[in-house]
Amino acid sequence: MEQTIAVVGGTGNLGAALARRWAKAGKKVIIGSRTAEKAQEAAVRLSAGLDTAILSASNLDAARAADVVVATVPFSSQAAVLEEIRPALAGKILIDTTVPLMPPKVARVQLPAEGSAAQRAQQLVGEMVRIVSAFHNVAAHKLATDHEVECDVLVFGDDKDARAVAVALADCAGLRGLHAGVLANSAAAEALTSILIFLNKTYKVDGAGIRITGQLDRSAAAD
């Protein structure tokens, strides 16, 4: 059965880029925003040249219509957006991409009291939602192109099957998704984002990412 993916906060840079890549790969994608009108404008723009049109709705309606919900919102909006869509999340997979960046010191690691943005998300939506944390260390402006992006996506979650869904979506977006352990481990990738921002500034890098070296047997993760 075909999965429907809702990208909540899908009018932002990361959400828009992921939505377009998944739609280009033939996935059914709904962009959500605070207003349906804003979502519709983004969906029309992002659907240009694609065989599969991107749909649009308000954040809540997009989450209701989806099997998998991907939240691509800044840390400052995370709590409000998750509270908004929580009635539609029970029994579903929520992929949270939130990184706890706190301007103006975004190149400094500042994890929340809960341990990570992912753990904060779990507390906000409750245990009936299978939370996965991913897509922290990928440059959105690179994803927005049609070029290959040589970057790994570390995927965290307490439910292995839910993690596998996010790994497959990372692969579908032209990246390499890797199981990286329990949800609490997300703190490492979230913190790494600030380090990558520092490296970008210090070494004039156009969107540093991560790549795991060595010969990985990805089939072993399915065991």
Return the structure tokens found at 70: 């991907």
The answer to which of 1-5, 35-39, 125-129, 179-183 has the lowest mean pLDDT is 1-5
User: Coil, helix or strand for 14?
Assistant: helix
What per-residue confidence (pLDDT) applies to 170?
A: 98
N-term to C-term CA, the chain: 23
Question: Cα separation of 107 and 191, whole Å?
Answer: 9
CATH of residue 202: 3.40.50.720
Asked whether residue 172 carries a pLDDT value surpassing 80, the answer given is yes
The predicted-structure confidence for 25-61, as pLDDT tens digits, reads as follows: 999 999 999 999 999 999 999 999 999 999 999 999 9
What per-residue confidence (pLDDT) applies to 222?
A: 74
Q: Are 6 and 62 in contact (CB under 8 A)?
A: yes
The predicted-structure confidence for 116-136, as pLDDT tens digits, reads as follows: 999 999 999 999 999 999 999
21-42 per-residue burial string, b: 16 or more CB within 10 A, e: under 16: bbbbeebbbbbbbbeeebbbeb
Which DSSP symbol is given to 174?
Answer: T
What per-residue confidence (pLDDT) applies to 223?
A: 67
Asked whether residue 210 carries a pLDDT value surpassing 90, the answer given is yes
In order of 127, 174, 177, the CA distances from 220 in angstroms are 28, 21, 14
The domain of 118 spans: 4-222
Which DSSP symbol is given to 88?
Answer: G
The predicted-structure confidence for 147-166, as pLDDT tens digits, reads as follows: 999 999 999 999 999 999 99
Question: Cα separation of 116 and 110, whole Å?
Answer: 9
Max CA distance (Å), the chain: 47
Q: Are 118 and 94 in contact (CB under 8 A)?
A: no
What per-residue confidence (pLDDT) applies to 91?
A: 96
What per-residue confidence (pLDDT) applies to 71?
A: 98
Q: Average pLDDT in the 175-201 region?
A: 98
Instruction: Give pTM, 2 decimals.
Output: 0.97
Helix (H) or strand (E) holding 167: helix 160-172
> Percent of the chain, pLDDT > 90?
96
Chain mean position to CA 31: 13
Q: Are 151 and 220 in contact (CB under 8 A)?
A: no
Q: Average pLDDT in the 177-193 region?
A: 98
Question: Cα separation of 28 and 19, whole Å?
Answer: 9
- Number of domains present in the structure of the chain: 1
The predicted-structure confidence for 74-88, as pLDDT tens digits, reads as follows: 999 999 999 999 999
What per-residue confidence (pLDDT) applies to 2?
A: 83
The backbone torsions φ and ψ at residue 71, rounded to the nearest 5 degrees and listed phi first, read -95, 115
